[in-house]
Amino acid sequence: MQQKVFNLFGTLGFVMSATMVVGSLLLYTRIPSLTKYYMSELKLELTKMVTDVVPGQIDDVMPELPAETGLPVPSSIKSPF
């Protein structure tokens, strides 16, 4: 009876170890595609958020354009730079 229990534990240990190895290999081979997928989803979400937020903030910060301008700068004045 004791031998059967030890054989069962050995078999279960082998099955668990093999499952861990196979699962690790599958995950290792899928990580690049999963990472690429989640990064593209994150970029898309961030792009949507930025395009929603930025135009309103730009309109708030931009001053009004003048209706008239001043006199032209004479071309005889040379810049010291």
Helix (H, G, I), strand (E, B) or coil at 10: helix
Helix (H, G, I), strand (E, B) or coil at 55: helix
Note the pLDDT of residue 6. Answer: 95
Query: What token pair was written down for 41?
Result: 């989803």
- Domain positions in the chain: 1-53
What does the chain come to in residues? 81
Note the pTM of the prediction, 2 decimals. Answer: 0.44
pLDDT 10s digits, 19-71:
999 999 998 999 888 899 999 999 999 989 888 877 777 777 778 888 888 88
Chain centroid offset of residue 3 CA: 54
Q: For residue 35, give every residue at least 6 positions away whose Cβ sits within 8 Å of its Cβ, in sequence order, or none.
A: none
